[in-house]
């Protein structure tokens, strides 16, 4: 038996949400647990045109509407969906505990979720094994969103990493909580005292950082963009994602503006081990881990040397990928999103994808890594409105034309696996990537 995926027909112009990639926990909201190699249209769970943002975590997804309603699906074993139970959810479902509490932004970590309300309050749910929920003396997991009371100042932006979280306040201060960076900091900075914000299980102000407007988080690093367009980074630097040769940065360090051709940055995104930034003129720079194609370019060793494998921990790869490089093909990108090791971008109303493709998250019908930003051909007839990534899956909101004719050569056929087989396969891959 095989599943055939393709863009479905639409009788009239309308917005529609599509999902593809890893789906072992139902994180695509399609009602099943099989990976999807080509974009597949979701059944409507709300008025698609009102969706304001889509994003994902380790195995779950979230969509926020323009009225502040939150819809969630996917892995829920730690209560990360905030629904009051721990059963996986295969279709986008409204988060009832938050009805009457309009949500502005959602950040999905590996197994937890951070919500920012329209009033500037921050809520959290899911695993709290590393203090990533920001609730002192809280339980190891929380199934219903709870307020992080210690964030008393109005918050304007939140971010979630693998096992830590961040918030930027209206005054430009940055707070961090969760101990996800502590172990690598202790190991890589022997004899040095770690700042409180790396070890706290409740919001702790990040020192040496002011006038921040937004924050992003990777697996073991953090970054903040200031109102003057400067980027500060800290945490682990195994893959050169901090544009530094240091193994670990205990405190925020500014990346020299010359790395971005002396232009101010207006936006920044982070994968687990790579970063993407855009300047005021629309130029896009990438740096960090490169061995899955996540930088949108293929680095070549000097003098034709060929390492046995593209191991980004080798000195050569780290030195090359720690320098932000401009990707001309992404200049002017309207929106960008980073998964763990793959990316999506909207360029000229079209969707481009590149990077890790083990579960088909690049949407080209294969499981081979994509080395340069490439159009998602299955969506070529649609106008892209929004994109969002989870660790290994992709979501896109599209404006469909009045009569979308399916392209017969865009079909992809692949064997169906049982949900158990898929889950075990993805767990093995995830474990290997986390240990990398």
pLDDT digits (tens, 9 = 90+) for 85-133: 999 999 999 999 999 999 999 999 999 999 999 999 999 999 999 999 9
Query: Both 399 and 327 in a single domain?
Result: no
- Tokens, residue 361: 């998250």
In a domain, 280, yes or no: yes
- Measured CA to CA, the distance from residue 126 to residue 143 in angstroms comes to 6
Query: Both 179 and 216 in a single domain?
Result: yes
In a domain, 113, yes or no: no
Last residue of a domain, which of 312, 338, 364?
338
Query: Both 227 and 259 in a single domain?
Result: yes
In a domain, 2, yes or no: yes
Query: Both 206 and 353 in a single domain?
Result: no
Query: Both 245 and 167 in a single domain?
Result: yes
Q: Is the pLDDT at 136 greater than 90, yes or no?
A: no
Domain count across the chain = 2
Query: Both 159 and 281 in a single domain?
Result: yes
What would the pLDDT profile of 401-412 be if each residue is shown by its tens digit? 875 544 433 333
CA distances from 380 to 30, 79, 100, 174 (A): 21, 37, 38, 40
Round the CA-based radius of gyration of the chain to a whole number and report it.
Answer: 20
Chain mean pLDDT for the chain: 88
Is residue 35 within 8 A of residue 23, CB to CB? The reply is yes
Query: Both 209 and 304 in a single domain?
Result: yes
Domain span at residue 309 reads: 153-338
What would the pLDDT profile of 140-151 be if each residue is shown by its tens digit? 999 999 999 999
Q: Residues 6 or more apart from 375 whose CB is under 8 A from it?
A: 350, 351, 352
Let me know how long the chain is. Answer: 436
In a domain, 12, yes or no: yes
In a domain, 435, yes or no: yes
Query: Both 327 and 403 in a single domain?
Result: no
Q: Tell me, what's the pLDDT at 301?
A: 56
C-alpha closest to that of 295 among 236, 336, 234? 336
- CATH code for the domain of 292: 2.130.10.30
Query: Both 243 and 376 in a single domain?
Result: no
In a domain, 274, yes or no: yes
- Tokens, residue 208: 């040496």
Is residue 317 within 8 A of residue 311, CB to CB? The reply is yes
Query: Both 328 and 353 in a single domain?
Result: no
List the beta strands (DSSP E) in 148-283. 155-160, 165-169, 174-177, 204-205, 212-217, 221-226, 231-236, 248-254, 265-270, 274-279
* % of the chain surpassing 90 pLDDT: 80
Q: Tell me, what's the pLDDT at 315?
A: 52
Query: Both 322 and 385 in a single domain?
Result: no
pTM of the model: 0.87
Q: Tell me, what's the pLDDT at 403?
A: 57
C-alpha closest to that of 170 among 159, 156, 151? 156
Query: Both 256 and 197 in a single domain?
Result: yes
In a domain, 122, yes or no: no
Would you give the DSSP letter of residue 244?
A: S
In a domain, 261, yes or no: yes
What would the pLDDT profile of 40-82 be if each residue is shown by its tens digit? 999 999 988 899 999 999 999 999 999 999 999 999 999 999 9
Last residue of a domain, which of 272, 307, 338?
338
Report the relative pairing of strands 60-65 and 70-74 from DSSP bridges.
Answer: antiparallel
Last residue of a domain, which of 287, 318, 338?
338
- Measured CA to CA, the distance from residue 153 to residue 101 in angstroms comes to 18
| 3-class secondary structure, 433 | helix
């Amino acid at each position: 038996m095989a599943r055939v995926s393709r863009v479905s027909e639409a009788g009239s112009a309308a917005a529609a949400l599509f999902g593809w990639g890893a789906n072992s926990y139902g994180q695509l909201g399609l009602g099943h647990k099989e990976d999807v190699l080509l974009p597949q249209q979701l059944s409507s769970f709300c008025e698609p045109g009102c969706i304001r943002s889509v994003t994902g975590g380790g195995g779950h997804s979230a969509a926020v509407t323009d009225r502040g309603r939150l819809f969630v699906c996917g892995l829920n074993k730690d209560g990360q969906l905030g629904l009051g139970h721990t059963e996986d959810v295969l279709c986008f479902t409204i988060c009832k505990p938050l009805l009457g509490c309009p949500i502005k932004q959602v950040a999905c970590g590996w197994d937890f979720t951070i919500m920012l309300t329209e009033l500037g309050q921050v809520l959290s749910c899911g695993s709290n094994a590393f203090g990533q929920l920001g609730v002192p003396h809280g339980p190891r997991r929380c199934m219903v969103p709870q307020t992080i009371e210690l964030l008393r100042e109005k918050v304007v932006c939140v971010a979630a990493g693998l096992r830590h979280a961040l918030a930027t306040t209206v005054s430009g201060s940055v707070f961090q909580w969760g101990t996800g960076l502590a172990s690598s900091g202790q190991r890589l900075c022997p004899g040095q005292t770690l700042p409180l914000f790396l070890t706290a299980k409740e919001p702790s102000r990040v020192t040496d950082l002011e006038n921040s407007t937004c924050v992003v988080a990777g697996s073991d690093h953090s970054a903040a963009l200031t109102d003057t367009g400067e980027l500060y980074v800290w945490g682990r630097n195994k893959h050169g994602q901090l544009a530094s040769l240091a193994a670990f940065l205990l405190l925020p360090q500014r990346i020299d503006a010359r790395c971005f051709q002396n232009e101010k940055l207006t936006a920044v995104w982070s994968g687990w081990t790579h970063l993407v930034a855009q300047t005021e003129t629309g130029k896009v720079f990438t740096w960090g881990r490169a061995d899955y194609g996540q930088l949108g370019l293929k680095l070549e060793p000097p003098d034709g040397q060929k390492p046995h494998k593209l191991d980004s921990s080798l000195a050569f790869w780290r030195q090359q990928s720690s320098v932000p490089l401009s990707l001309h093909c992404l200049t002017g990108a309207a929106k960008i999103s980073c998964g763990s090791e793959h990316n999506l971008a909207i360029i000229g109303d079209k969707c481009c994808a590149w990077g890790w493709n083990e579960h088909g998250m690049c949407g080209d019908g294969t499981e081979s890594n994509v080395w340069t930003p490439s159009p998602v051909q299955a969506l070529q007839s649609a106008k892209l409105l929004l994109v969002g990534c989870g660790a290994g899956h992709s979501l896109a909101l599209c404006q469909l034309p009045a009569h979308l004719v399916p392209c017969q050569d865009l079909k992809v056929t692949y064997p169906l696996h049982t949900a158990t087989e898929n889950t075990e396969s993805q767990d093995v891959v995830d474990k290997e990537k986390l240990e990398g």
